[in-house]
Amino acid sequence: MDLEDAGCRVHYLIRDRDGKFPALMDEILADAGIRTVLTGIRIPRDERDHGAVGAVVPP
């Protein structure tokens, strides 16, 4: 996509931290005046059932 024809300029590229994006890609974008912003680190959800601590079960 050529944004110059539309009269737009890219200032930021938001991307994830996947290893398929080499550091060279960030350098090339920086040379073009585009700042790369990385997304936050994703933390897996805890799927354990914590339940109530110290719960008493009636007899």
| Full DSSP string of 13-27 | EEE---TTS-HHHHH
- Percentages helix, strand, coil for the chain, rounded to the nearest 5? 15, 15, 70
Long-range contacts (CB closer than 8 Å, 24 or more residues apart) made by 3-7: none
pLDDT for the residue 57: 55
Q: How confident is the model at residue 58 (pLDDT cuts 50, 70, 90)?
A: low
Tens digits of residue pLDDT in 8-48: 788 888 888 888 888 888 898 899 889 999 888 776 666 66
0.75 cut: is pTM over it?
Answer: no
